[in-house]
Structure 1
Amino acid sequence: RSTTKSINVKQQAIEAIDRIINGNPIVISKKGKLIFKNIAKEARVSPTELHRDFRDVMLYVSSLKDSKNESITIHASLVRKRCMEAIERFKTGETRNVNKNAKVTVASVAKEADVSDSYLYAYFPDILNKINELQGEYARYGNKEKHDKLLKALTILLSKNEVITVKKVCREAGFSETFDMMVRKSYPDAHNQILIEIEKQKTSRHTQDRLILLEALERLKNGNPKNTPPIPNGGYISVRKLMNESGIGEGVIKKNHPDIYQECLKKITIKTEDVWLVKSDFDAVSKGDTETHKLNFSNIHFDWLISSAKAFIKAVFSTRSKSTLKTNIDAITFFSRALYSINPECEAHEVTRSEMQKVFFEWSKSELKSSTIKRRLASLRQYFEWCEDTNFIKFGATKLIRDTDYPSLPKSIPKFIPENVMSQLNQHIDKLNPDVTRFFLVLQEVGMRISECCSLMFNCISPDENGDYFLKYYQFKMKKDHIVPISAELVSVIREQQKAMITEFGQAPVLLFTTPKFQENGIPYPRAGKAWSKGTLIKNLNALAVENNINDASGKVIRFGFHQFRHTVATRMINNGVPQHIVQKYLGHETPVMTSTYAHILDETLKKEFKKFNSTMIDINGKKFNDQDIINDLTMGTDANNIDAQWLKKNIAMQTLPNGLCSLPVVQGGCPHANACLTCSNFRTDHTFLPQHKEQLQRTEVIIETCKKNGWVRQLEMNENIKESLVKIIAPLESN
């Protein structure tokens, strides 16, 4: 055992005790008690090390508390002389002031020399060193037979290559596990020998672990791991991958090999010869995009195909989204795999229509979905057409992919969430993390796509001139901003989320739904400060469904999907009688065809009525309008006060007329022309209101007769205009 190290430990402990007494500790709390555990922590040494090298630490603490020893006036040289004489008497067994069988400690030597032990600790390190040496010579306390058993048990465990602990040595020697405390106190030389072997094993284990880690790291870099799948091109060696490859835990790597741990945290990509790492700009990131996109060409067979694929991606890079570029590369990759299985030596000029049909056959054998094949063909066709247009590469034929090659897709009914399931969900939704709860409340009212909700900007709501609120978000699919009216309740939810984010980060973040710093269990979130992970969100929601037994009609626990909320919003609107062209506008669809996929109505009567309503609309002159005509009449924009947003607000709130609807948006209050609908060019109606129009025509004819009899010229003229409009409206409606 190193004497110098022992003195250093003692000195550190003495200084730590002094700081604790004076109320200015560095490590522990200022209110920390002067106990053994706190002293070790403040001294920055392990409790075992402190006990081994400063066995009398608590006796020293006691001496400081003894008021009679607070003042030391004996000259230093006299104290040293007395102590040296006392040590000699301990050696010969002729002590005067203490028992002849007393243990050799600083306290016993100080008592024998008739001086204060605190004085020795503070000013005589040489005396402490002498006492330390003496303890080594006369350290075998307790029963000699038990001492020998302990050393023999230690030797046996070492021969078996067992991991040494004090408890394990006690078990091997035939003693109880609690005997380890007796070993520490009464068998110090045996205890020290055990600690020495533990330290040796620890050093050896660290050396061995480091060797294993470095070898595993090298295998991962070279692409030939033994215990894990190879890292794909453009990937990086993470701590988890190194942990799985080496079999050494993350905690051990972090604590004992910090340099290797930090190397993994850098996330340095490997094998990037055919992998492009494309950085997104801040605007893309702020709207929920990822910071870095990986375009991987390394899995494409044939050099001519790789070079042409890279040239194609470079050419279209500025006009396409990163996800579309990735889809293009994936299609070329799958094409190369099929072509390689058919002809491993294939050249570009050998790619003919016949070869393409073989590729299609290979894809059909893999049981791919029709939608996957169709998407793959569309992306591959873009590549072929670019090659033909630029003459970058010559294939064996033109028109390698034709319209007839695309599979026909079955029309599937949208999967919406039944109302009874939505009711169950909202009963338990408050049990989620508050941020997640608010996220799904926004999603279920607005019906936006998941990427749109994740990328909602912090300041996403704005009022119009009438005090109603609108939500503005970016539609990645349509590449445009979109604005929709929202309820006062949802405005409160969003404001709650804004306050929570400011509290979390100290300022307003870029995104409304920003991942917080810590999870509920106190563990830091890896994505803190970024957009929420879609996987985390849906995992939380489905866990809630399982925990609270949220079932469908068959009694089976429901499994939620993000897009179901969009289907549900659209279906609710249709079932509530909202016209399809208004649903189209609310969802931000470009064409009625897109909206029609959501128009799933459960009630058969409503289905029939919807079909009737969705046919032809008539104005006061009998002119026919369809849904798209009405939409095309609207001015596009993204301001809460523009015509588009106001029209949508009015109609989505179902502010319809008793006999039709008004195509004029409400911008400043209500219509100024009371009861003038049948003479207004903005009036629209259809045959669902035909009975009301016929009844009004009969009443109007009676009024006309009365006006004629009484000579009411002005009233007669007004009602004749109304009659004329009604006739023009009724005639085409009856013919439909």
Structure 2
Amino acid sequence: MMANTAGEQMMSEVVAMLHELIPTINAHEIKNELSVIFSKYHVTKIELQEVHPDLHEKIQLFLSSKRLEGLSPITLESYELDLKIFAEHVKKKTDEITAADIRVFLGRFSHLKLSSIAKKLSVLKSFFGWLASEEIIQRDPTKKLKPPKQEKRLPKALTIEELEMLREACKTTRQRAFLEVLYATGCRLSEVQALNRSDINYQTLSCRVIGKGNKEREVYFSFKAMYHLRKYLMARTDNEPALFITERKPYRRLSKRGIQREIALIAENAGLGKKVSPHTLRHTFATLTLNNGAELAAVQALLGHEDPATTQVYAQLTDEKKREQHKKYLVQ
């Protein structure tokens, strides 16, 4: 006799189902026959509260493949988190997941911005699209799902006056260095946070950063940014290789959240009355540079954008600039 295991339970359920479909069968004989077959296998019951092992396995396969393709650690970490949340909510075998399951899952996040929901769907499309292309599943349940329509809003860049107000509101050399480096380079927060002191080329006033898709590009400092960065670094007495570190011991690389807090604090001290983040400074770099006559292709390269349309969003001229251009170029 088999022990009262998951296999025994499964066998009982199968026999009960067969007896219900064909009442005339000999349930005792069928159970004995199945007992011999089931004894050759190890059967594990999937608890409803658990992530299905098949889905977990497919997620790990997908992440391994993307890692080999050279996706950046930041992107991989983001994919893994979104897929882990998905697996915890949809406890099914991968090839049994339907478009309806995905809609129900995304519906749980109605409190989030449309851009956040669109990002979750994008990750799922990437995951299931890859599984289908590799012929691991027969159909892609996300194929007919369209991302939610998002309101097109222009990035909120700072004016020159607001930028000066931020500069004056800096209370430490570190704060001023943050501000000038983020603005002068137009870098993403993650790119600046990952920089080391050894990355800075003082001769060319530049450094190389690793952006989205693990792509490397060169960015440049202004004289002002380099002056305040040197001032900050010369005041440090630690041996930590990171460009920006914590203020208190034990010194370590400052987190992205730490840099965000410092920028928000500067904005609060400046009394701007608006939210300012490291990304605001990236927007400001792009907008002011384009308004000052820079070519779109050059700004695209400096920002690390693959698609020119992404950079085009910043090419919104101020009223003053529009008047100046009209006066300069109108043929009378």
Same fold, TM-score > 0.5, yes or no: yes
Counterpart in the other structure of 1:313: 63
Q: Does structure 2 retain, via aligned residues, the 8 Å contact 1:452–1:474?
A: yes
Q: Does structure 2 retain, via aligned residues, the 8 Å contact 1:473–1:482?
A: yes
Largest Rg, 1 or 2:
1
Q: Is 1:413 equivalent to 2:154 in the alignment?
A: yes
Counterpart in the other structure of 1:531: 253
Q: How far off its partner does 1:453 sit?
A: 1.9
1:553-606, CA deviations, whole angstroms, 9 ceiling, x for partnerless residues? xxxx33321100011111111222333233223333333212112223221652
Counterpart in the other structure of 2:129: 385
- 1:154-553 equivalences in 2 (<5 Å): 301-319=51-69, 320-340=71-91, 346-352=92-98, 356-367=99-110, 368-392=112-136, 394=137, 398-402=139-143, 404-429=145-170, 431-432=171-172, 434-459=173-198, 460-463=200-203, 469-501=204-236, 504-505=237-238, 509-516=240-247, 518=248, 524-525=249-250, 528=251, 530-546=252-268, 548=269, 550-552=270-272
Q: How far off its partner does 1:690 sit?
A: 6.8
Q: Does structure 1 retain, via aligned residues, the 8 Å contact 2:157–2:280?
A: yes
Task: State the AA in 1 paired with 2:117.
Answer: I
Task: State the AA in 1 paired with 2:120.
Answer: R
The 1-side partners of 2:50 and 2:61 are apart by 14
- Aligned Cα RMSD in Å? 3.2
5+ unaligned residues in a row in structure 1: which ranges?
Answer: 1-298, 341-345, 464-468, 519-523, 611-686, 692-736
Q: How far off its partner does 1:689 sit?
A: 8.8
The 2-side partners of 1:427 and 1:303 are apart by 56
1:536-561, CA deviations, whole angstroms, 9 ceiling, x for partnerless residues? 33323433444x4x334xxxx33321
The 2-side partners of 1:533 and 1:349 are apart by 39
Q: Does structure 2 retain, via aligned residues, the 8 Å contact 1:417–1:564?
A: yes
TM-score (structure 1 length as normaliser): 0.35
Q: Is 1:566 equivalent to 2:316 in the alignment?
A: no
Q: Taking CA–CA contacts closer than 8 Å with sequence separation of 6 or more, which of the two structures ends up with the larger relative contact order?
A: 2
Distance 1:534 1:607, change over 3 A: farther
The 1-side partners of 2:289 and 2:50 are apart by 47
Distance 1:334 1:300, change over 3 A: farther
Q: How far off its partner does 1:472 sit?
A: 1.3
1:141-163, CA deviations, whole angstroms, 9 ceiling, x for partnerless residues? xxxxxxxxxxxxxxxxxxxxxxx
The 1-side partners of 2:95 and 2:190 are apart by 42
Distance 1:349 1:479, change over 3 A: closer
Deviation larger for 376-385 or 593-602: 376-385
The 1-side partners of 2:151 and 2:284 are apart by 21
Q: How far off its partner does 1:411 sit?
A: 1.6
Q: Does structure 1 retain, via aligned residues, the 8 Å contact 2:55–2:93?
A: no
Q: How far off its partner does 1:326 sit?
A: 3.0
- SS of structure 1 residue aligned to 2:254: coil
5+ unaligned residues in a row in structure 2: which ranges?
Answer: 1-48
Q: Does structure 1 retain, via aligned residues, the 8 Å contact 2:207–2:218?
A: yes
Q: Does structure 1 retain, via aligned residues, the 8 Å contact 2:186–2:283?
A: yes
How many residues in Structure 1 have an aligned counterpart in Structure 2?
A: 281
